[in-house]
Amino acid sequence: MSHAVAFEPTAFLELNEAADFYDLERPGLGTEFFDAVEAALTVVADTPAAFPIELGETRKRVITRFPYSVMYWFDGATVHVSAIAHHRQRPRYWGDRP
């Protein structure tokens, strides 16, 4: 069963900023980043408990090909994306987000 996915506003901003950065590096790479995030979220929506807990109730799903992870928590009905976190920038900065 696939669950609903909801982005916290800051996570949505992070997603778009990363895609914009990749498009500046190479046109079309931002779209590839979006596709990789979408693929990761599809798996998370199907099996939200399958990924390791990183902090508190927040889980981590690594995004294939890119140094980012989807940070999320699950309330039983909806996957809440709290951050699109770069692996080397400000570790656990998202820790105080819902």
Domain count within the chain: 1
Cα gap 92→78, rounded to integer Å: 22
Name the pTM for this structure.
0.90
Domain assignment present for residue 96? The answer is no
Per-residue pLDDT tens digits for 74-89? 999 999 999 999 988 7
Domain assignment present for residue 18? The answer is yes
Domain assignment present for residue 53? The answer is yes
Per-residue pLDDT tens digits for 45-80? 999 999 999 998 999 999 999 999 999 999 999 999
Domain assignment present for residue 97? The answer is no
User: Residue 44 burial by CB count (10 A; 0-12/13-18/19+): exposed, middle or buried?
Assistant: buried
Q: Which domain holds residue 23?
A: 4-87
